[in-house]
Amino acid sequence: MSSIKASKQLLRKDVMSKLNSLPYQDIIDQSIESLNVLQRLNIFQKSQNVGIFMSMDTEIQTQLIIKESFDLGKNVYLPHIANINKLDHNNIKLFKKEPMYLIFYQMDNYESVLNLEPIGKYKLKEPTKGQDLLDELTGNTPLDLLIMPGVAFTSKLDRLGHGGAFYDDFIKRHLIKFGSKPFLLGIGLDVQLVDSLPIEKHDEPLDGLIIKNQFYNNE
């Protein structure tokens, strides 16, 4: 294991320990603060097609963001983890070694989100069907905004994920299909903001970051 990867693993372990110690009410309070910041952002107000991660108990609770997005008439896309080796036909090029990758499915309404069943390693509610944003034939609408999870972030807009390169890969495939990237917005809890992160070439930087009631960007 390289020194950078080892440093990432140590940092993940440290931050996850802090997250597991946070009272759930604190997570809810910070989630509400972050939603209030998001609502005021021009990029959120003008975005019609929004990708949003489904949160674990120790993350910002994105159900609030999902409901707000539907209430504003936005098109909401949620992630599903798929295995490229189980496809009948494979025209997908991944930018990662492992066969697991993200599909973003469009959801019909907020009720359809509530009815999703928890699946996978993290027992997250995931859609398993719908309009695939990057489908070779029927995917014709790029995301305007992608709200991304992370284990840790910096105010300089670096992001440390869980190590699967799911989002880095998805962003690169989005760029190839549509010729553009969505606005990449990280959102996290206060213990996830760190001074610096070990960064590798494939790590996608953020365009913006919300931590509690603060918004960080490059301006």
Residue 165 annotated as lining a ligand binding site: yes
Residue 166 annotated as lining a ligand binding site: yes
Residue 159 annotated as lining a ligand binding site: yes
Distance CA(59)–CA(124), nearest Å, equals 12
Residue 104 annotated as lining a ligand binding site: no
Distance CA(203)–CA(176), nearest Å, equals 17
Contact 160, 153 (CB under 8 A): yes
Residue 20, classified by CB atoms within 10 Å of its CB into exposed (0-12), middle (13-18) or buried (19+), is exposed
Residue 11 annotated as lining a ligand binding site: yes
Residue 10 annotated as lining a ligand binding site: yes
Identify the sign of the CA torsion 175, 103, 111, 68.
Answer: negative
Residue 35 annotated as lining a ligand binding site: no
Residue 161 annotated as lining a ligand binding site: yes
CA contacts within 13 A on the Cβ side of 34: 27
Residue 170 annotated as lining a ligand binding site: no
Residue 174 annotated as lining a ligand binding site: no
Identify the sign of the CA torsion 77, 82, 85, 89.
Answer: negative
Residue 162 annotated as lining a ligand binding site: yes
Give bridge partners of residue 79 from the DSSP assignment. Answer: 104
Residue 95 annotated as lining a ligand binding site: no
Which residues sit in the known binding site? Answer: 8-12, 54, 59, 159-167
Sequence ranges of the binding site for substrate: 54, 59
What are the binding residues for ATP?
Answer: 8-12, 159-167
